[in-house]
């Protein structure tokens, strides 16, 4: 009898802990969302790689309610002159959309644009000579476009 009571208490305790743990995790997600979002929108290659991994496994982040939608480079070519800028544009969209949803876009826009430019420069780093010079110039143009038009057209430029 004593073993049954102990087993019942252990089962009940485990169930209570599971519910409390789930509630704590659910409640913690919004508080952690800003920190996770920030970690994925920095200028570093490690931030870009962390976002890339998360983007490939979006389901693992469903509790955070991130907006993963993208129109890539909006009305500009995704791969101008053959330079693969599409992923850089997708990460930029991610930052714009999610900071806007959190009401923190204006405070973070300069860093998001700088991270975009850093991503583009990493794309260009794989080239050399005149091709790299061309890529760097195209990256600079894309960066200037989001700096200027991203303020007015943040819904479409990102």
Active-site residue flag, 3: no
Residue 18's H or E segment, with its range, is helix 2-39
Q: Is the four-CA dihedral 65, 51, 157, 152 of positive or negative sign?
A: positive
Per-residue DSSP letters for 36-65? HHHHTSSSSHHHHHHHHHHHHTGGGGGGGT
Compute how many other C-beta atoms are within 10 angstroms of the C-beta atom of residue 38. Answer: 15
Q: Which residue has 């290659």 as its token pair?
A: 45
Per-residue DSSP letters for 65-128? T------TTTTS-SSGGG---HHHHHHHHHHHHHHHHTT-HHHHHHHHHHHHHHHHHHHHTT--
- Which of 92, 94, 124, 143 is an active site residue? 92
Q: Catalytic amino acids?
A: 92
């Amino acid at each position: 009898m004593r073993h049954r009571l102990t087993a019942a208490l252990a089962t009940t305790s485990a169930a209570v802990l599971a519910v409390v743990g789930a509630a704590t995790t659910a409640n913690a997600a919004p508080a952690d969302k800003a920190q996770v979002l920030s970690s994925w929108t920095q200028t570093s290659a490690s931030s870009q790689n962390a976002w890339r991994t998360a983007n490939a496994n979006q389901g693992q982040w469903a509790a955070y309610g991130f907006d993963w939608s993208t129109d890539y480079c909006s009305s500009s070519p995704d791969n101008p002159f053959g330079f693969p800028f599409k992923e850089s544009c997708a990460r930029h969209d991610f930052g714009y959309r999610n900071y806007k949803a959190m009401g923190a876009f204006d405070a973070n826009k300069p860093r998001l644009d700088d991270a975009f430019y850093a991503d583009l420069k990493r794309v260009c780093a794989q080239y050399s000579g005149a091709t790299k010079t061309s890529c760097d110039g195209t990256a600079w143009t894309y960066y200037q476009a989001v700096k200027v038009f991203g303020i007015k057209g943040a819904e479409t430029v990102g």
